[in-house]
Amino acid sequence: MALLGWLSLALWPLIFAASFAQTSTNATFDPLQYVDVLIGSTNEGNVFSGATMPYGMAKAVADTDSPSNQGGFTGDNSNITGFSVMHDSGTGGSPSLGNFALFPYSSCEGDIVDGCVYPKNSRKTHYVNESLKASPGYFALTLDSGVGVEMTTAHHTSLFKFRFPETDASGNVSKPLLLMDLTDLSNSRQDNGTVSVDEESGRMAGSARFVSSFGTGSYVLYFCADFSGAPIRDNGIFVNSRASTDVKDLTISRSINGYPLPGGAFVRFDRPEDGYIYARVSTSFISSEKACESSELEIPDFDFNSTLSDAEDAWRTKLSPIKITSTGVDDSLVTNFYSGIYRTMVNPQDYTGENPLWESDEPYFDSFYCLWDSFRSQIPFLTVVDPHIVSRISRSLIDTYRHLGWLPDCRMTLSKGYTQGGSNADNVLVDAFLKGIDEDVDWNTGYEAIVKDAEEEPFDWCCNGRGGLDSWKRLGYIPVQDFDYKGFGTMTRSISRTLEYSYNDFVIAQMASVLGGKQADVEKYLERSNNWKNLFRDDQKSFIYATDGSSTDTGYIGFFQPKYLNETWGFQDPLTCSNIDDNATSSCSLQNTAVETFESSIWEYSFFVPHDQATLISTFGGPSSFVSRLDYLHDTNITYIGNEPAFLTVFQYHYAGRPALSARRSHFYIPRFFSPTRGGLPGNDDSGAMGSYVAFSMMGLFPNPGQNVYLIIPPFFESVSITSPISNKTAVVRNVNFDPSYEAIYIRSATLDGEPYTKNWIDHSFFTEGKELVLTLGRNESAWGTRMEDLPPSLGSYEGFGGSGTRRFRRERDHSWQRPDLHVGGSWGL
């Protein structure tokens, strides 16, 4: 919208103030119109684009044969292999779930059952490009065969509405067949999948064991499928490419050739007058009876419209606490914003009542894929807009600890996933705790769980807890090539694990301090949170090597380096595994041969000291060197915004007293790297991590996760308001002199509830108490938020800032800091 382009700048505040009032009271505003669920469906976004409820277990979509089909559907015109009902969103790894696909035929050749093609690899087909329609709670397309498929979901149950054309491709009257395949996206089905079809009703029930995607286990999933809308002609089972109406029960082997033998059941129908046949599919981790119960309870009458409108209402309720004044801003940015928010609520999935592993009355959430990704902004985002869910997620994490002995790190399909770095459930729990999440959360057990992460090494630290704890406690770092006989995991990432463990220990100290009566713990974990210093090598340089063998000094000195058990230095090029490392031999993930930094470089990890930016800034030679390094990190593409460790680096200028540069940097990335198109995400969405990055950035408040801190930049809209679902109070960030061309993106001054506000950060009480932050913008960097007393809390003291250089930011240990609703002071006060 460029409607106001002709107005003089001076008039803008008046106009916007008026339009803000209008929009914020506009009862007809529907956020769903700004959700494009196909964002991230190509270009390895791996987003789930299908129909689901918020955190729903039922996730129905068309699956494709794309090599990047982790989310089921891909918007790249790949073939459709079937329509399945369980998915993850945005993950890497091998595709998760995608079980029990349906596939429709309008007829079988010669009207004999063997005239249909059963195996997934041969039946797959294109769809009519223009037929694709997807929106919250809804997904539809028409296959090249002319069969149309629409789908929507309740919490455990998916409802498909197939439309069969009157005649098939050869002009014969349609004789529809629907098959159900005992398959999944990764072809991981194990031995003895079963299916039975009831002759009378056509109801299919069964189960199979599948392998979890990025972890150590397997899971058994049960299903129940019912059909409605047309008379049943007959039914039966198929194996490989042959079928029979005489056989109603099948137990099938995986077979020995690696690709599970195709097998399943089918029902044939007479085509009804209107062509519509419905299939209702539920899954359960408990039993197929439980799946059938969910079906009957959730969608008793196969009512497509009411199921869809319930799903839409559920999404509307979730998104409606967030309102914006979009005047002057291109709609594509509004879509970017609401679609990002939408994606934060697809995973984790609420499997309460569906956990066969232990008996409990606590909620059970799954599909934490992985907390290494989601602690940084996704779950903190939910803490703002959906705190009830974060209470339930926290309870589930703690209950998982209670029954399995450890907090999860990565967890999917009832299995332990691979830990990528630290014990980052610690960060998730403490972030929620500090922000006052407390509906029925047993925080004492939560504290016990995070302390166990820090103190006890699990035998399988591949998949929970931490490794190398003896060295951690004795030497104060994770050595490269550690000697560790107590527990087992991939012996790499010694630098990034040292940095993450340091931060994990810091968050424990914070929780100990707030819980009270734990002074020894506070001191112990604060001490250990300094361990990052032990891997900093202050004479380490960094060169860029060209293919001709020449090298250029980046000019920066002092980087983290690996250190051996004998306390001598090892070496890793600070640019290895950076975004500009094109050495094909670099292994950057969980390979045995991988480097000492996980999925990123020493350069980027250099900034990962979220709790002590003050000391880090001094270590790097003061604020201007720190800023120069951050600029170099971004400007030379060493970092890549498509992976989560980059998130905080966009905003770390705040700590160097340059909040204006964070604002500028965030506009450098949005929309350039995040656009509302199918390929519009950088990297995998990672269960909504990218979505939350966009949402927080555009909202103008970015968390330093694990701390009660949001760094302030101007929102990308004239105003943003967020109503707390707990207090019902509405927090507002409003820009004065808002400039939709984003030239005036620098804060000149601010008020909080009418009082001058100079801190460049704010705490969570902003949201729960419904405060109003008014930011006056200009086209140039100003002095706002730049003084030492304006900077966010840091464990060490800020030094080398102009003006009041001797002034210590940090208060002496007064232990006065509290949870937000009890008013936090300006420093850690530890």
Ligand X SMILES: *[C@@H]1O[C@H](CO)[C@@H](O)[C@H](O)[C@H]1NC(C)=O
List contacts with ligand X (CB under 6 A): 22-23, 26, 28-29, 65, 77-79, 107, 109-111, 124, 129, 168, 170, 172, 191-192, 305, 545, 564, 566, 568, 583, 585, 636-637, 727-728, 779-780
Identity of the residue, 427 or 666, whose beta carbon is nearer to ligand X in the bound complex? 666
- 96 and 70 Cβ atoms separated by less than 8 Å: yes
Identity of the residue, 111 or 456, whose beta carbon is nearer to ligand X in the bound complex? 111
Query: Least distance in Å: CB of 742 to ligand X?
Result: 13
Cα dihedral: 611, 615, 618, 619 (round 10): -90
| Total residue count of the chain as it appears in this document | 830
Identity of the residue, 196 or 727, whose beta carbon is nearer to ligand X in the bound complex? 727
What secondary structure, in 3-state letters, does 778-819 show? ECCCCCCCCCHHHCCCCCCCCCCCCCCCCCCCCCCCCCCCCC
Identity of the residue, 488 or 564, whose beta carbon is nearer to ligand X in the bound complex? 564
Rounded Cα gap, residues 597 and 560, in angstroms: 10
Identity of the residue, 485 or 517, whose beta carbon is nearer to ligand X in the bound complex? 485
Query: Least distance in Å: CB of 462 to ligand X?
Result: 24
Query: Least distance in Å: CB of 77 to ligand X?
Result: 5
Identity of the residue, 23 or 89, whose beta carbon is nearer to ligand X in the bound complex? 23
Phi, psi of 19 (to 5 degrees): -70, -30
Identity of the residue, 422 or 680, whose beta carbon is nearer to ligand X in the bound complex? 680
Query: Least distance in Å: CB of 528 to ligand X?
Result: 24
Rounded Cα gap, residues 208 and 284, in angstroms: 11
Identity of the residue, 444 or 637, whose beta carbon is nearer to ligand X in the bound complex? 637
What is the H or E stretch that residue 52 is in? strand 51-52
Query: Least distance in Å: CB of 679 to ligand X?
Result: 10
Cα of 385 vs its chain's centroid, Å: 15
Q: Is 401 left (phi over 0), alpha (psi -120 to 50) or beta?
A: alpha
- 283 and 182 Cβ atoms separated by less than 8 Å: no
Query: Least distance in Å: CB of 610 to ligand X?
Result: 26
Instruction: List the beta strands (DSSP E) in 309-453.
Output: 322-325, 349-350, 365-366, 411-412, 415-416
Cα dihedral: 343, 348, 349, 352 (round 10): -140
Query: Least distance in Å: CB of 712 to ligand X?
Result: 21
Query: Least distance in Å: CB of 253 to ligand X?
Result: 7
Rounded Cα gap, residues 657 and 654, in angstroms: 5
Rounded Cα gap, residues 570 and 175, in angstroms: 70
Q: Give the CA count within 13 Å in the CB-facing half-sphere of 632.
A: 18
Identity of the residue, 111 or 455, whose beta carbon is nearer to ligand X in the bound complex? 111
Identity of the residue, 47 or 617, whose beta carbon is nearer to ligand X in the bound complex? 47
Identity of the residue, 134 or 425, whose beta carbon is nearer to ligand X in the bound complex? 134
Cis status of the peptide bond prior to 370, with omega within 30 of 0? yes
Q: Which candidate, 178, 283, 194, 264, places its Cα nearest to that of 227?
A: 178
Query: Least distance in Å: CB of 476 to ligand X?
Result: 17
Identity of the residue, 120 or 395, whose beta carbon is nearer to ligand X in the bound complex? 120
Query: Least distance in Å: CB of 614 to ligand X?
Result: 29
Point out which residues pair with 543 in neighbouring strands.
Answer: 553
Query: Least distance in Å: CB of 620 to ligand X?
Result: 21
- 603 and 633 Cβ atoms separated by less than 8 Å: yes
Query: Least distance in Å: CB of 198 to ligand X?
Result: 22
Sheet of 80-84, strand order: 51-52, 59-64, 80-84, 101-105, 177-181, 263-269, 232-239, 242-244
Residues 6+ apart with CB under 8 A from 471: 477, 478, 479, 482, 483, 484, 565
Identity of the residue, 727 or 751, whose beta carbon is nearer to ligand X in the bound complex? 727
Identity of the residue, 256 or 520, whose beta carbon is nearer to ligand X in the bound complex? 256
Rounded Cα gap, residues 802 and 787, in angstroms: 8
Burial class (CB in 10 A: 0-12, 13-18, 19+), 169: exposed
Q: DSSP secondary-structure letter at 820? A: G
Identity of the residue, 124 or 629, whose beta carbon is nearer to ligand X in the bound complex? 124
Identity of the residue, 151 or 397, whose beta carbon is nearer to ligand X in the bound complex? 151
Query: Least distance in Å: CB of 221 to ligand X?
Result: 15
Place of tokens 């190509």: 42
461: its two tokens: 């630290």
Sign of the CA dihedral with 798 first, then 804, 809, and 814 last? positive
Query: Least distance in Å: CB of 116 to ligand X?
Result: 10
Query: Least distance in Å: CB of 686 to ligand X?
Result: 20
Point out which residues pair with 220 in neighbouring strands.
Answer: 209
Query: Least distance in Å: CB of 229 to ligand X?
Result: 12
CB neighbours of residue 331 within 10 Å? 12
Sheet of 701-703, strand order: 701-703, 710-712, 761-762
